[in-house]
Structure 1
Amino acid sequence: MKKRMSEGLWGYFFILPQMVGLILFALIPLVSAFILSFMKWDGFGEKQFIGLGNFTSQFHNPDFKLALFNTAWYTALVVPVGIFLAVLVAVALNKVRGKVIYRLFFYMPVVTSSIAVSIVWLWLLNSEFGIINVYLKQWFGIIGPDWLTNRQLVIPSIAMMSIWWGLGGNMVLFLAGLQGISASYYEAAQIDGASKFRQFWHITLPLLSPTTFFATIMSIIGSFQVFDQSFIMTGGGPAKASYTIVYHVYQLAFVEFTFGKSAAAAVILFAIILTLTLIQMHMSKRWVHYGG
């Protein structure tokens, strides 16, 4: 009995640093933001309770609606394209010699600072001397578009950068998922005369569904929190065409100093992400298959 208690105490001792960090940097800020969302506060004076006033103002705020649309449009581009490309790259590298080196090269952007990546792509997408437009003109005779100053192209341009930036992370996940699929499935399919495409469609994709489910949830959560790219590359422009929800939260808090409204926008964002996650978890019962 004493031995079990001692082991339990040691277990709590080892998880204590993580629990302290979780409480200080996650739970307390979360509760504080929720409470602040019901207050009117400029960051200096006394807080004034105004009930649901901050939430009402956000639902009637055209900037919030625009930010929500831009974020949804960005997510609709980044998540499916990013997942699709990650699966293709993972399948291509799964049985290639030296895949550890390839995996390293693909994963390097993931651990690179978002600021550094944004600055590099700001140069690449420059309409006058950016390397992408230079090669488009030299190789194809095409005059490149204004990637970051065209209202219709700015979100796809930022999405393109984000897909490249996060490709390695999802690729590593799918590589791990592929290595967990038993070779016996493919051997049986080959005996039955199944083509490579049918093996991929009927074996690889279904057995990768748990990995796809996890990668999709994490990608959606990340895409709804996009901020660094639009802040560094476009400043939310042109004409707020790349103005996202997190950018809106930043604008309300640190430019307009309306911290209550900012907290309300953040709580709404939290509710949206939570709702989407719960919907995906419910729908996953229909398409996620756990197998050996």
Structure 2
Amino acid sequence: MQEIISHIQKAVLNIANELKFPDTGYQSTHNATGDTQLKLDVKSDMIITEILSKCKNIKALVSEEKPEALELNTEAKYIVAYDPLDGSSLLDVNFAVGSIFGIYEEKMSAKNLKMAIYSIYSARLELIICTDIPKLYRLNHKNEFEYIKDLKLSQKGKINATGGTQKNWSKTHASFIKSLFDEGYRLRYSGAMVSDIHQILCKGGGLFSYPATTDAPNGKLRAFFEVFPFAYICEKAGGKTSNGINKSLLELEFSKPHSTTPCFFGSSYEIDKLLSFKAEQ
């Protein structure tokens, strides 16, 4: 695992350098789920592919920006699924963005997830590595990732970050979100999953959600690249997750690499309230 971590660290550093003087223009191409690709989406994907392809412990790479898996070493046992630049559409306004990595053993399945990593590119470069408890590292003056602290979620938070166009929410979801605001929760939503969940983890609690909507009944966020890695991290931090019905996103199974799902991540209180709220509707 350490060799994989070292290669991911190198890729993250290279992407961070690219972001110092970015070309925020769009490509004429689309990814596997139909999103128009930014030039930096493609560049970040190329950087990760080039660097991680040199790691002998990686069996295959599966990217949000690639239609199919890139087979590498048949004798290796780890598959790395990743979103090379989450929140890239916010680069033109200089918001924080990140890269997300899920490391699966032998087969892409939530039950085979062995490690989750994400980076956040902002005023500081930070890297969160989770095998047991999510650990926050920060790039220091020596150009090394220095351990800062473990990330833990309290039983209840104060932050409410929810995605999707509100006119496309179900009445149940709209009522649930309103009930949190009625309790005094604060709206904190940038549109970059990595940034919004990072805030919840660093602040110690809250809720991030991207529900089923009328225009995206299966949700918008991709299971293997985004949802499962963050579900792994949030649950290891002492929080809970759900698709709005079940008791853990890590119970879900998908056969297609670009499958999406509604998703809720948060402290125990918010997820328990969600499930109770849904059951009463």
TM-score, structure 1 length as denominator? 0.26
Structure with greater helix share of residues: 1
Structure with greater strand share of residues: 2
Structure number with larger C-alpha Rg? 1
TM-score, structure 2 length as denominator? 0.27
